Structure formats: structure tokens, C-alpha cells
Amino acid sequence: MSYRRIRMDDLFEALEMMIEDLQNDFEESFKEFENFGNEARPLMYGFTMTMDHAGEPVIKTFGDKEIKSGFREPVHEQFVKTDTDELIITIEMPGVSKEDIELNVTENNLIVTTPNVERKYRSSIDLQVPVEPKSSKAAYRNGILSVTLRVKGKSNKGIKISVE
């Protein structure tokens, strides 16, 4: 085996290049931030990471990324309660009242909007499982919207089977 000896000058030169790259990245980020707007409002942007049914990672972004169109995309999570055969969707929507929230559900999709308020949200959520839209229930407390839907084709009622 041959080991190559690294000169100290090369090491410091590489470090200087890395520092310059970081400074350039920060300067570009601050320029984008300055160009974002002079509105006096909080900024929020982030992501959530979950696993789908097949074990694949699912990365979803949220926050002010849609603010150019006038709408924010709220953070949401969904899970299936197997004991009651219900799909529960939890959506974070602070700063609105329950009267401002509009919900539209189909078997495979939930659309949430707050079009007539200062803090506007809009999200189209693809549901994990097909649901019965007529079974919809929603509650809004402390900025959290909880939507409960019955999973389609599931029934807690059993049928009697005769043995021949």
C-alpha cells in the first residue's frame, strides 16, 4: 500500500475553498430572502417525512412555499384506525375560525381551503384508502382540524356462517 502524504498547503487551500462556497451560498440565500417581500409577517417552511404502506419514504413540504399564489399549504397527517375502520386526517391551520374552513371530499381525495380570510390555506390531500364521503365528520379546535372518514367497504358487522 502506498500512502500519499497531503501537504498542509493543499489542506488549507481546500478548506478556504469550502468556506468561500459556504459564504456564496449564504449570500445567495439572503438575496432570495430579501427579494421574498417586505411584508411584516412570519415565514414558515419545512418538511415532514413518513413511510408509506410499502415502506418507502414520503417527504412532504409545507409552509409559505405557495405564498406567491396567496395560499399556504398546511401541515397534515393521516392514519387508519383499524379497530373502528376510520381514516383520521389531522391538519394544522392556525389563525382561522371554523366558519372559514371549506372541505370537499371524494372517495380518494380531500380538498381543504380557507379562501375568504387573511390567512389563506389550500391543500389537496390524496387519501391512503378509499372512504365513504357521506360519513365525514370534522372538528376544529386550537388551530387543529381533525377530519374523520369511514373506510369504504369495511364493516364491523359480522355475518353468521353455517357449517355443512
**51 Cβ contact list (under 8 Å, min separation 6):** 57, 58
Residue 58 lies in a domain: yes
Residue 160 lies in a domain: no
How many structural domains does the chain have? 2
**What strands, in cross-sheet order, belong to the sheet with 109-113?**
102-105, 109-113, 122-126
Q: Mean pLDDT over residues 34-44, rounded?
A: 57
Top-confidence residue, 38 or 108: 108
Residue 17 lies in domain: 7-38
Residues 56 and 124 in one domain: yes
Task: Band the pLDDT of 71: cuts 50, 70, 90.
Answer: confident
Residue 156 lies in a domain: no
Residues 60 and 95 in one domain: yes
Residues 52 and 28 in one domain: no
Which DSSP string corresponds to the chain?
---PPPPHHHHHHHHHHHHHHHHHHHHHHHHHHHHT----S---EEEEEEE-TTS-EEEEEEEGGGGGGT-BBPEEEEEEETTTTEEEEEEE-TT--GGG-EEEE-SSEEEEE-TTSSS-BEEEEE-SS-EEEEEEEEEEETTEEEEEEEETT--S--------
Task: Band the pLDDT of 43: cuts 50, 70, 90.
Answer: low
Residues 81 and 110 in one domain: yes
**90 Cβ contact list (under 8 Å, min separation 6):** 76, 77, 78, 144, 145, 146
pLDDT of residue 90: 94
Residues 74 and 139 in one domain: yes
pTM: 0.57
Residue 158 lies in a domain: no
Residues 34 and 49 in one domain: no
Task: Band the pLDDT of 162: cuts 50, 70, 90.
Answer: very low
Domain CATH code at residue 105: 2.60.40.790
Length of the chain in terms of residues written: 164
Residues 18 and 53 in one domain: no
Residue 74 lies in a domain: yes
Over the stretch 73-84, which tens digit does the pLDDT of each residue have? 888 889 888 888
Top-confidence residue, 97 or 158: 97
Q: Nearest Cα to 63, choosing from 39, 41, 42, 46?
A: 46
